[in-house]
Amino acid sequence: MTRVLIVDDEPQLLRALRINLRARQYDVDTAADGASALATAARRPPDLVILDLGLPDLDGVEVVRGLRGWCSAPIIVLSARETQADKVAALDAGADDYVTKPFGMDELLARLRAALRRATLTEDAPMVRTEAFTVDLAAKRVHTPAGEVRLTPTEWHLLEVLVRHPGKLVSQRQLLQEVWGPAYSSETHYLRVYLAQLRRKLEPDPTTPRYLVTEPGMGYRFHP
């Protein structure tokens, strides 16, 4: 049974989510604050976390960081905060998706299933090797001949999407939606900034990229 940890301080929402998920055969744990969430996750490691940011004791971003210190389960943030800064902070801390309240239950369940599919693929993923670097999709690590390369969560997510589609064009819209969420589907400058950072870390010559290639006006392509 897939175990889901729901963290929210709204009793009615917590109850509604618990009922909906249990009806779909998920094993559900709940917590009403950040400290309880971290304790519950440590005691009963979840396969996925649904997390509100506005908790009474800890900011949800701190809970994301606390979980990411040891837990690789997908984290879906569920929050009334709508600013880009809040969304970017949560995603950069290690959240996998961001859903704004109020939300549709069907959409949340679809995002939950998609996050679990990605996690399953990652568990079974192979090593992706190039002459310049190696991507270990299961361990979420990147190595070059000089040693391990430290990537931010957003850099990793972007690289992961690209290397899972070797040789194929991944559109700007697809990348933005998968890495930042549907609300960011037109924020193409995010891609330019983060691809430049990845190239500086991974490409032998970042000014003439060989592996992370731009298809002008269309998207990006990973050449293994």
* Helix or strand run (H / E) with residue 84: helix 84-93
Beta bridge partners of 149: 142
Give every residue of the chain whose pLDDT is below 70, as ranges: 121-125
Topology (CATH) of 125-222:
Arc Repressor Mutant, subunit A (1.10.10)
pTM here? 0.61
Cα atoms in the 13 Å half-sphere on the side-chain side of 152: 14
Exposure class string for 127-156: b at 16+ Cβ within 10 A, else e:
ebebeebbbebeebebeeeeeebebebbbb
Report pLDDT for 71: 84
C-beta separation of 202 from 162 below 8 A: no
- Reading the block at residue 5, the tokens are 């940890």
Report pLDDT for 49: 97
Report pLDDT for 122: 58
Report pLDDT for 50: 97
Amino acid identity at 70: W
C-beta separation of 51 from 60 below 8 A: yes
Q: Which ranges constitute the DSSP H helices of 100-187?
A: 105-123, 153-163, 172-179
Q: What is the mean pLDDT of the chain?
A: 89
Beta bridge partners of 220: 170, 214
CATH 3.30.70.100 fits 3-122, yes or no: no
Digit-coded pLDDT (tens) for 43-94: 999 999 999 999 999 999 999 989 987 888 899 999 888 787 888 788 878 8
Domain-by-domain residue ranges, the chain?
A: 3-122, 125-222
Phi/psi for 74 (5° steps) reads -60, 145
